[in-house]
Amino acid sequence: MARVDERLIHGQVMMTLSQKQGINSIFVVDEVVAKDKFMRELYKNAGSRTGQKTIVVTPEKAQFYWDEYKFKEYNCILITKTISVIYDLVKNGVPMKELNIGGIAQKNPETDIFVTKSVYLNKSDAGKLKELNEQYGVEDIYFQATPSGPKSSLKDVLKQFDL
């Protein structure tokens, strides 16, 4: 399972997601956070409150960890801030069946469309999600800010982009 959320680990969302059957770790995959010792420790501590081992790595390190070890004994949730990071990981062989898009802020008012509560997408990212679903086997892509909140399907969101 994976989640795209600019907040990375936060509150009840992670508590709920980390309790899914078989999950035993959280991989925070972010270049900036992984290279900042203070932020890395902050996210490790936040993740440990879920009861799961939390590992903070760069996208390259996550890719290496998959290529070399298939994540070892970790049945993890991958969390990134951007669709591009998830896209690159999957395109380079990291298998994924479920992808939750939870929170993406508007970056460019001219290209970013408000698609669901707490998610803005541009056409490029929408196209990447479509490709992940149709060509790379990510079967369940959905938009849901919190586990108890409304859920929107990829199909419904793509209609807004004529994809």
**What's the pLDDT score for residue 159?**
95
Ranking 9-18, 33-42, 150-159 by mean pLDDT, the lowest is 9-18
State yes or no: pLDDT of 14 exceeds 80: no
> pLDDT confidence of 5, banded at 50, 70, 90?
very high
Phi, psi (degrees; rounded to nearest 5) at 7: -85, -10
For the stretch 131-160, pLDDT in tens is: 999 999 999 999 998 888 899 999 999 999
Percent of the chain, pLDDT > 90?
A: 70
The reported pTM is 0.92
Mean pLDDT of the chain: 92
For the stretch 102-142, pLDDT in tens is: 999 999 999 999 999 899 999 999 999 999 999 999 999 99
Mean pLDDT across 69-87:
92
Percent of the chain, pLDDT > 70?
A: 99
**What's the pLDDT score for residue 10?**
77
Of the CA atoms within 13 Å of residue 30, those in its CB half-sphere come to 23
- Strands 98-103 and 113-116, by their bridges, are unpaired
Mean pLDDT across 40-48:
88
Domains of the chain: 2-161 (3.40.35.10)
| Neighbouring residues of 161: CB distance < 8 A, sequence distance ≥ 6 | 113, 121, 123, 126, 127
Show the tokens assigned to 122.
Answer: 């541009």
**What's the pLDDT score for residue 12?**
67
